[in-house]
Amino acid sequence: MVKKNTYEKNKITRRCALAAMGGIAGGAVGLKNISFPKTIKKPSGKLPNIIWFISDDVSKPDHGCYGNPVRTPNIDMLASEGVRFTSAFATSPSCSPSRTSMFTGKYAHSAGAENLHDPLPSSQKILPSMLKEKGYFTGNCAKLHLGPNGEKQFDKIYKNATGWKDFAQVRPKDRPFFLSIGFHEAHRPFQKNLIKNPHSPDKVVVPAYLADIDEVRDELALYYDEISYMDAEIGRVLNWLDEEGLAENTLILYFGDQGMPFPRAKTTLYDSGIGVPLITRWKGTIPEGNVQDGLISLVDLTPIMLEIVGITPINDIQGKCLMKMLFDADAEGRKYIFSERNWHDNDDHIRCVRNKRYKYIRNYYPEEPFIHAADITRGESCQGMLRLLDEGKLTKQQMLIFRSLRPSDELYDIKSDPNEFENFAYRSEYQNILNEMRGVLDGWVTETNDVSPNERMVNYFNHRTGERMIKGREPVLRK
């Protein structure tokens, strides 16, 4: 039996401040009554088209415009013509729960789909259904990972990222559209010779939590290639918008679902696991070249889209309406972001809260070692690091992720320790901050009905080799 704690009777109401927005009564009223900041050119009155480009397992730094030497000319162009967010976070470091949040505007456990591969419950409505209220034609290309109830809420579903070419042909020209492209890049397995001019392993940036060895450098170069491959497809979509004169009336978002598929990144709640790129472009409507440092969560994306097109969010949406962050680099973001790790190939239950300065992580199963996604464990980087671990050659910091017992509480000062290596949770001088962050997390757990499971689920994979131990794909309770 699959563990569920669906929060159907959510009492939280997060209605956005739509009072000033008028124009909710459908038709072609569109944006004309929305009170945009005075410095911003008001849109033509037509509802904007919306495109979401979603990368898979791509960490924030790994784009030219975020600083690492990955060739992403098209994403860099979006950033220079729009707004680049530096503090965007996923609500989960796993694919399907993170995507559940971005499309529903709820935390994955509140939507009843917190484990990897949990299908979206039939009661849950996602963004394309909400946008249809305003006449949107909707399509998804490639990865969605929400199950049948997710797919059926789009007008068009395409297996491949290039499905947008058909979408461009069949879309009714008199209606706005919402197009989501869920790229498979840079999910493992990495493909060799994916691009003509591959990245050199000599020139990759090796994060401090990874060992600087050939296995890691070789895999990082292939991971960079995957990102460049995706970037080229984004470029082709942008060309189509230019050719059809759609660029000005199309709001574009580029973001990732969680961090890169390497040890101590994806499936962890460190910033390397939940820190994601987020770039928005809306030519002539939002400023060009702004950098927005405020905290924002992917759970906020759906409410922001609704805010922009003038739809009042349904009562149980938990994300925040932060449209102002697109228009004003100084607009305040969230005070806190929250994220959750649940079953992903193997069982776990970890929660975190982060503000601009501190991160608090709670491990519910400290008696067991942390286990990465199985494909990360099987990968050459992880196996290379495990070899060094056995040889006593990892740094103290690189060993942290492989320890056999975990602390129950972790507290990091992100400002002085961005890699989250030094746990201050057990230092007397940090007890006030620890208590404050614990209290905030407790409040969120209660508010979102985040029930901690009293039964454990099956581990399918060996934690050292990543090899399959038993058959199965879906999370099930241990007998």
Mind spelling out the 3-state secondary structure of 147-205? CHHHHCCCCEEECCHHHHHHHHHHCCCCCCEEEEEECCCCCCCCCCCCCCCCCCHHHCC
How far apart are alpha carbons 265 and 259 in whole angstroms? 6
Q: Where does this chain touch Ca ion (CB under 5 A) — which range of 89-97, 277-285, 323-331, 354-362?
A: 89-97
Range 257-276, binding Ca ion (CB under 5 A): 257
The single-letter DSSP state of residue 425 is T
User: In whole angstroms, how close is the CB of 56 to Ca ion at the nearest point?
Assistant: 4
Q: Where does this chain touch Ca ion (CB under 5 A) — which range of 92-100, 169-177, 225-233, 401-409?
A: 92-100
Residue 56 within binding range of Ca ion, rule CB under 5 A: yes
Residue 95 within binding range of Ca ion, rule CB under 5 A: yes
Q: Where does this chain touch Ca ion (CB under 5 A) — which range of 3-11, 90-98, 175-183, 412-420?
A: 90-98
Which position among 51, 57, 130, 220 is part of the footprint of Ca ion (CB under 5 A)? 57
Q: Which is nearer to Ca ion, 56 or 340 (CB)?
A: 56
Range 220-259, binding Ca ion (CB under 5 A): 257
Residue 345 within binding range of Ca ion, rule CB under 5 A: no
Q: Which is nearer to Ca ion, 171 or 378 (CB)?
A: 378
Contact 63, 72 (CB under 8 A): yes
# residues near Ca ion by CB under 5 A: 4
> 């290309």: which residue's tokens?
141
User: In whole angstroms, how close is the CB of 86 to Ca ion at the nearest point?
Assistant: 21
How many CA atoms lie within 13 Å of 55's alpha carbon, on the beta-carbon side? 34
How far apart are alpha carbons 143 and 54 in whole angstroms? 9
User: In whole angstroms, how close is the CB of 454 to Ca ion at the nearest point?
Assistant: 29
SS3 call for 358: strand
Q: Which is nearer to Ca ion, 43 or 93 (CB)?
A: 93
User: In whole angstroms, how close is the CB of 260 to Ca ion at the nearest point?
Assistant: 10
Q: What does the block give as tokens for 97?
A: 């729960």
Residue 62 within binding range of Ca ion, rule CB under 5 A: no
Q: Where does this chain touch Ca ion (CB under 5 A) — which range of 56-64, 271-279, 371-379, 407-415?
A: 56-64
Closest residue to Ca ion using C-beta atoms: 95
User: In whole angstroms, how close is the CB of 96 to Ca ion at the nearest point?
Assistant: 9
207-240: b (≥16 Cβ within 10 Å) or e: bebbbebebbbbbbbbbbbbbbbbbebbbebbee
How far apart are alpha carbons 250 and 49 in whole angstroms? 4
How far apart are alpha carbons 404 and 366 in whole angstroms? 9
Judged by the rule CB under 5 A, the positions of this chain that interact with Ca ion are 56-57, 95, 257
